[in-house]
Structure 1
Amino acid sequence: MTMFSVIVTALNAQGYLRECLESALNGAGADTEVEVVVVDNASTDASRAIIDEYAERDERVRAVCLPRRLPAGAARVAGAQMAGGDYVLFLEGHDSLMPDALMALARRAEDTERPDVIVFDHVRSTWSNSSIGSGDGRLFMAPGSGVFTIEARQKTLNLTPTIANRVLRTDFYAAHQELFGQDEYTEVLPAIGSLLAAERIAITEAVLVRRNAREVPLGEEGHSNLFRQYEALWKLLGSGPAMTEAARIVFSGMVRRYLKVLTLTGISDRDQAEFFHCASAHFLRYKPADYQRPANLNGVRHAMLEHDSYSGYRALQLANRKRRSVRTLAAKAKKKAAEVAKEGAYREQLRHPIEEDLAVFSAYWDRGFTCNPGAISAKLGELAPQMRQVWVVRRDDVPLVPAGIDYVVPGSRRYWSVLARAKYLVNNVNFPDSVIKRPGQIHVQTHHGTPLKRMGTDQIPYPATSRGVDYEALLERCARWDYSVSANRHSTETWSRAYPVPFTSLDYGYPRNDLYYTATAKDVLRIRERLGIAPGRKALLYAPTHRDYEAAWTPRLDLERLAKTLGHDFVLLVRGHYFYDRGLSPLQELHRRELIIDVSRYDSVEELGLASDALITDYSSVMFDYANLDRPIVVFADDWVTYSATRGVYFDLTEQAPGAVALSQDDIERFFLDGGWRDEATAAKRAEFRRRFCEFDDGHAAERVARHVFLGQEAVPPVIPLDQRVPAPTPESAAASYPSA
């Protein structure tokens, strides 16, 4: 039996941490045991809450919560102090183990009589590619059945220098702990040092870890840390003739990394010059006797390091940068020529100062005053009436703009003016690519639904939805976000992973859902009257989502049959998805015949929710919002297998539904005729669904966003616990309150 201590260091890893922990906890087999020590390195996101959740429910998980952020190596050491296994394996919260990885390592450990170090292969993941090989494959060829020393197989030092591609016998780690606590931005010392210090090394060609690539800035402290690591490494390596090849490998890697640092942006000229001179000193101090300079442009860079010629290096760097800039500008000029001509007014407006009291709002690609931006706008008008608000509204939707709301039409001269000058820009999608975020501007992304279907870069493996999408352009748009509004931790974690750009998550709830807690009985009755719902009838809101594999919408339910089967006691409110052309809607004839009420053009989905007694939906995010009302929800999942396979989803809705799940029209009809739509079993499902997805919605979300973003207040109203919230009254209770209404 082999026990592994998996040490996970988490720093703002909320989007990946669950996958990481699950991969470790599920990796044990019949001959393996696992303990997981998770170190929260003073994260500012929800990582700590996730760690606490796992520690509470699984005794194999232990949490270490650091009061302040430590260097990566020191954080690992803090976790490893609690290791009780035979081997330690270090992961970051963004990494994950492959299935059966621990069992494969246990077998290798037994086959090689428990060596000091076992090295394995890994892959890297980025937003644009599910897996990129490590490039180490050739070094794992014919690993052999036994163990070796680094002196015998010096080429092993060419392996990617990461601590995550190996396990270390715990007593070996303890004896060489000084190698593992110094690194911050690079793992050169622990990775190469552990191989140099080991007396017995084994390798396996199996790919056992997936690393999620992240851009980690290398600041001034990182520069000096890198030098210290290499100095310690050269002491460990020594200078004997037996390690000549090892010296060449370490030297080559050192110079390569130093030159890479010199290409980084964001480093001052003074710091770059200082780094260059230190790198030059290392070049001369550690240059092998048989060193041969590369015969290419890289060789020129080597020569400049060798002669400590920073002025020459700088001249070469500027010349290369100028050539690249000319090529880039030429390409961009060709692509943007039409845009620049059209948006000349915008470019001119960018020269003007930002107006601190100006906020621009848009929703659903400029469809009008609605959704989360609309709720924030309304609350901002109450809390800060001095703030000037302007909405971006398509010309066709101008008649829907409420009285008193200032608006601009996309493409107009004033449109470009407000986009250039506004301090705040709020949207539930993205502003166009042509919008430039100026220093000092604040962009708020409110989103427009809790994600069931895959979003952002998580869509890449699904051709039905990702074909033709420019993900680099998408991430450039997302990089403008300062804030991302979230209704629950599921969304918070999903957004941070699907949109891998830096932003602050506002875990405040969805502002549009405030109405589900603030509406009164009179509001409910007023909306029903406006819609023409007769007193005493049960209103069923049918709101399906769109499907990427369907060009036009045809209701999957036979609505005429359903209306006739349910009879006069029920009335169907049917809302087609806005992605489809409403002019071709098959609902109009049914509405004319009074078999249904077509509410596709009714602007507020929230008001439709208030007016209804129950929701019928398929995979629409409306179910997450509607759950706040604590009213029955029926999921019609007749094509779930096709939808989930082609669109991609984050969880199995049929297993974690907010109520009854129907796989056919017969199921739907039976549920409503025999009462299965609102029995105890469906109420229990709904309660669990609400606990998970209505986490932050309590009626005060818009106020929290307005106070924090626009008024700069750190102290905002706390989220009311779910069991203390009172949703808006049901139509039945509203009618009982006003029997004469």
Structure 2
Amino acid sequence: MTDDTPVPTGADEGPRLSAVVHGRNVQGHLQECLEDLVTGPAAPVEVIVATTDPAAHRLAERYAAQDPRLLPLPLPDGTGDAAARAAGAARATTPWLHFVPAKDRVPGGAWRTVTDLAAAQPPDVDVLVLDAVHSTWWATGRPSPDASVLARAGRVPRTLDDCPDLWRVAPLLGARVLRTDHWRAHPEWAAEPDAELLAYAALARARRITALDHPVLDDRRLRTASLPPPTPEDHYGLVGRYEAVQEVLAARGASTAVRAALYDVMVREWLRVIARGALPEPVAREFFHRAARAAARWRPPGHPAPPGLDGVRYRLLERDAYRPYRAVQGVNHQQREVRERWRTRGRRAAAKLRDHRYRRALDRPVHDDLAVFSAYWDRGVTCNPAAIADKLAALAPEVRQVWVVARDRVPLLPPGTRYVVPGTPDYWEALARARFLVNNVNFSGAVVKRPDAVHLQTHHGTPLKRMGLDQLSYPAAAKGLNFRALLARVDKWDYSVSANPHSTETWERAYPSRYVSLDHGYPRNDVLHRATPARIRAVRERLGIPRGRTAFLYAPTHRDYEAGWTPRLDLAALAAQLGEDAVLLVRGHYFYGGTSPLSGLRRDGRVVDVSAYDPVEDLQLAADGLITDYSSLMFDYAGLDRPVLVYADDWETYARTRGVYFDLTTQAPGHVVRTQEELTEAIRSGAWQDAASAKTRAAFRRRFCAYDDGLAAERVVRRVFLGEPESALPPVVPVDERRPVPTPQEADAT
């Protein structure tokens, strides 16, 4: 086991993390914080609620009665944050501390991630640096810009010399988890009111640090107008904060690289305050002088200024040249205002012209014979919209079809496709005058829903992970989604296509509006129920799969809590263990370099990269079995009644961070395996296609393939485009009465 591998935890373990929720019930937000804690996923955490006002005391007592992990610690009314933090930390009984201001929240599942990470750390790691999301009165869970820095630092324990860029991560004490001994080794911290200084000091004094780009705090930004106005000393304190950290680094003999990285952060912060802080002139002048003295004192020898105007500002600050600085700033403001005026005029003119054309087009009658299609944010002709368009051409060839396609995808379009590029005059004209608008995501929020146009939302998968408004409790997954804007787009839907009762129920809750649910099945899956043996053979030949070989489609899903793709299977080892009779069709953008063990496997056809292959339905037809984790592809593939293996090595992490609608490990379409060894054994032993697998798959098909019978596109076209009543549509064939298309082996035998 490596240092960056989380240690599995059991349900009966004792607490490994002491969370100190501290402070007043600011603007009533403490209740949200405590509600999340008692209703969220269980984790080995003791929660010390150090409250400092009577309303907060009462809340802490009430929630402690619901959850024994909560330990109320009422403090005298008016106790400051520093004293509350210190009192809570003094009660801690675990190796790690997490300070959570009472106004903030902890994203669901974050503590389990932290405790797993903490358990894997060697004794000299003093600080875990994690990410945060930010909420305001008008938006929740907005991502921070720090994820890329944290991802580069990685989970391997490092010193500040190894990753000086960590100074650039926002100094939120609540996004840092401290080893309890590290906190107690510095008793002076207990009296420090500046939480941001503590966040920096913890880094400066740490022996080693581990970083993870996973949000552990939902930092609530209170409305400025609701807070007391800052005093001049509040502003000057920003200078003192950085000087205090520089003194710590100097006392520890920190390297020039570490000091230089902090120097750049602090000078940029000071210049930002001077330029944009709207300080009264006397305060701005004094702030500049104090910052100048500190900059001159702490500038590392020979440290270069950045290029361009920023470098000029650096040098003026270091020379304490306030008047020249203001002069440069004034000239720059004038130049920026002139440039911005011209840019604004250009944007306004373009927008005005576009809006004028669009509004004029909206005033003209719709074209009853025009349908506009788009899929996956204008990627091209694919998914449910493509299947509907194909059936529409057969049943109503008089309807003109136009696709919205991004400019860089135009060369990939099928020959003869009529298209418009987003943002062009033709694009706005088509959207304004089309009778039918079909998409598997959403059109731009600027698109107007006219009363005589029909908007058809087809979706693009069966939901396992939380969607729409159900993401409100999972800010890490929502990543700053504007829910008001989302609902405004949903309100334009007239119809919503569904593949099963679970999807219908989920869409109606996650996207509440007045649209009509069409329980017709997913049109893209029609081919999975109507394909001929000849088509199956042709697809396998096109992919280079020799007759008689068993092909497995490996299709992992995206994980919101990972900044990049993390390989979960050793494909070279898997292919070697399965032998020459097996072929792996791998759908993912992660192939190894040319000198890897996969090179030879690709040459002899045992591993085939199908990441860019479309349509994905062909890959399903070609595969004897599916290996996936949490991809919605499993719901479509189950309709073929072919074996599925669920590789759920990180199910608990995925479920608690992304949010899910049901426990896949107990309601899977086949065997669930947790390790590569289990996966390999399931295939080699034949368990992947045994009777137990067939039984679980049958239950899964009845639940999630209820409407997919090969006639979905016809039902949608007749209902939406031809206006036929539900009673006139082809009835859905019950799951138990369907005859699946031939397997590849059966197709080869015909």
TM-score by length of 2: 0.52
Letter of the 1:609 counterpart: Q
Correspondence 1:429 to 2:447: no
Equivalent residue for 2:625, pick from 576, 591, 614: 614
Deviations 1:690-735 (A, max 9, x none): 0100000000000000001000011110101112212211000000
Q: Within 2, Cα distance between the matches of 1:569 and 1:733?
A: 17
8 Å CA contact 2:466–2:660 kept in 1: the answer is: yes
Letter of the 2:741 counterpart: A
Map of 2:269 onto structure 1: none
Correspondence 1:726 to 2:739: yes
8 Å CA contact 2:371–2:402 kept in 1: the answer is: yes
Correspondence 1:459 to 2:490: no
Equivalent residue for 2:721, pick from 710, 714, 717: 710
Map of 1:682 onto structure 2: 693
Map of 1:315 onto structure 2: none
More moved, 519-528 vs 433-442: 433-442
Map of 1:528 onto structure 2: 540
Deviations 1:591-630 (A, max 9, x none): 4674410001111111100000000000000000000000
Gap regions ≥5 residues in structure 1: 1-122, 124-129, 132-136, 142-332
Please report how far the alpha carbon of residue 400 of structure 1 lies from its aligned counterpart in structure 2 after TM superposition: 2.3
Please report how far the alpha carbon of residue 339 of structure 1 lies from its aligned counterpart in structure 2 after TM superposition: 4.9
* Superposition map of 1:314-329 within 5 A: none
Q: Within 1, Cα distance between the matches of 2:631 and 2:608?
A: 19
Q: Within 2, Cα distance between the matches of 1:339 and 1:564?
A: 58
8 Å CA contact 1:587–1:598 kept in 2: the answer is: no
* Superposition map of 1:296-335 within 5 A: none
Q: Within 1, Cα distance between the matches of 2:437 and 2:573?
A: 46
Equivalent residue for 1:548, pick from 556, 560, 581: 560
Deviations 1:399-435 (A, max 9, x none): 2222232111112221111111000000000001111
8 Å CA contact 1:552–1:581 kept in 2: the answer is: no
Map of 2:571 onto structure 1: 559
* Superposition map of 1:112-261 within 5 A: none
Please report how far the alpha carbon of residue 512 of structure 1 lies from its aligned counterpart in structure 2 after TM superposition: 0.5
Aligned residues: 411
- Quick one: structure 1 residues 644 and 420, their matched pair in 2 at CA, closer, same or farther if it must change by over 3 Å? same
Letter of the 2:720 counterpart: V
Gap regions ≥5 residues in structure 2: 1-31, 33-38, 41-54, 60-343
SS at match of 2:548: coil
Correspondence 1:660 to 2:668: no
Map of 2:459 onto structure 1: 447
- Quick one: structure 1 residues 339 and 594, their matched pair in 2 at CA, closer, same or farther if it must change by over 3 Å? farther
Please report how far the alpha carbon of residue 583 of structure 1 lies from its aligned counterpart in structure 2 after TM superposition: 12
Letter of the 1:726 counterpart: R
8 Å CA contact 1:487–1:693 kept in 2: the answer is: yes
Map of 2:642 onto structure 1: 631
8 Å CA contact 1:537–1:570 kept in 2: the answer is: yes
- Quick one: structure 1 residues 343 and 562, their matched pair in 2 at CA, closer, same or farther if it must change by over 3 Å? farther
Please report how far the alpha carbon of residue 341 of structure 1 lies from its aligned counterpart in structure 2 after TM superposition: 5.5
Please report how far the alpha carbon of residue 652 of structure 1 lies from its aligned counterpart in structure 2 after TM superposition: 0.1
8 Å CA contact 1:449–1:621 kept in 2: the answer is: yes
Deviations 1:568-603 (A, max 9, x none): 1100001127xx99999x999564674410001111
Equivalent residue for 2:524, pick from 489, 512, 527: 512
Correspondence 1:600 to 2:611: yes
Deviations 1:112-164 (A, max 9, x none): xxxxxxxxxxx9xxxxxx99xxxxx9xx99xxxxxxxxxxxxxxxxxxxxxxx
8 Å CA contact 1:588–1:598 kept in 2: the answer is: no
More moved, 358-367 vs 591-600: 591-600
Letter of the 2:737 counterpart: Q
Deviations 1:91-123 (A, max 9, x none): xxxxxxxxxxxxxxxxxxxxxxxxxxxxxxxx9
Letter of the 1:533 counterpart: I
SS at match of 1:508: coil
Q: Within 1, Cα distance between the matches of 2:529 and 2:389?
A: 18
SS at match of 1:657: coil
8 Å CA contact 1:358–1:423 kept in 2: the answer is: yes
Map of 1:364 onto structure 2: 376
Q: Within 1, Cα distance between the matches of 2:373 and 2:681?
A: 44
- Quick one: structure 1 residues 349 and 687, their matched pair in 2 at CA, closer, same or farther if it must change by over 3 Å? same
Q: Within 2, Cα distance between the matches of 1:426 and 1:581?
A: 34
Q: Within 1, Cα distance between the matches of 2:746 and 2:608?
A: 22
Correspondence 1:699 to 2:716: no
SS at match of 1:350: helix
* Superposition map of 1:87-106 within 5 A: none
Q: Within 2, Cα distance between the matches of 1:599 and 1:668?
A: 21
- Quick one: structure 1 residues 524 and 707, their matched pair in 2 at CA, closer, same or farther if it must change by over 3 Å? same
Q: Within 2, Cα distance between the matches of 1:637 and 1:472?
A: 34
Please report how far the alpha carbon of residue 502 of structure 1 lies from its aligned counterpart in structure 2 after TM superposition: 1.3
Q: Within 1, Cα distance between the matches of 2:616 and 2:452?
A: 34
SS at match of 2:513: coil
- Quick one: structure 1 residues 700 and 350, their matched pair in 2 at CA, closer, same or farther if it must change by over 3 Å? same
Q: Within 1, Cα distance between the matches of 2:697 and 2:720?
A: 33
Equivalent residue for 2:416, pick from 404, 427, 434: 404
Please report how far the alpha carbon of residue 555 of structure 1 lies from its aligned counterpart in structure 2 after TM superposition: 2.5
Please report how far the alpha carbon of residue 396 of structure 1 lies from its aligned counterpart in structure 2 after TM superposition: 2.0
Letter of the 1:705 counterpart: V
Q: Within 2, Cα distance between the matches of 1:498 and 1:558?
A: 37
Letter of the 1:727 counterpart: P
SS at match of 2:517: strand
Letter of the 1:564 counterpart: A
8 Å CA contact 2:544–2:605 kept in 1: the answer is: no
SS at match of 2:450: coil
SS at match of 1:369: coil
Q: Within 2, Cα distance between the matches of 1:387 and 1:483?
A: 19
Q: Within 2, Cα distance between the matches of 1:459 and 1:646?
A: 10
Q: Within 1, Cα distance between the matches of 2:692 and 2:451?
A: 53
- Quick one: structure 1 residues 398 and 702, their matched pair in 2 at CA, closer, same or farther if it must change by over 3 Å? same
- Quick one: structure 1 residues 382 and 581, their matched pair in 2 at CA, closer, same or farther if it must change by over 3 Å? farther
Map of 2:390 onto structure 1: 378
Map of 1:497 onto structure 2: 509
SS at match of 2:369: strand
8 Å CA contact 2:583–2:605 kept in 1: the answer is: no
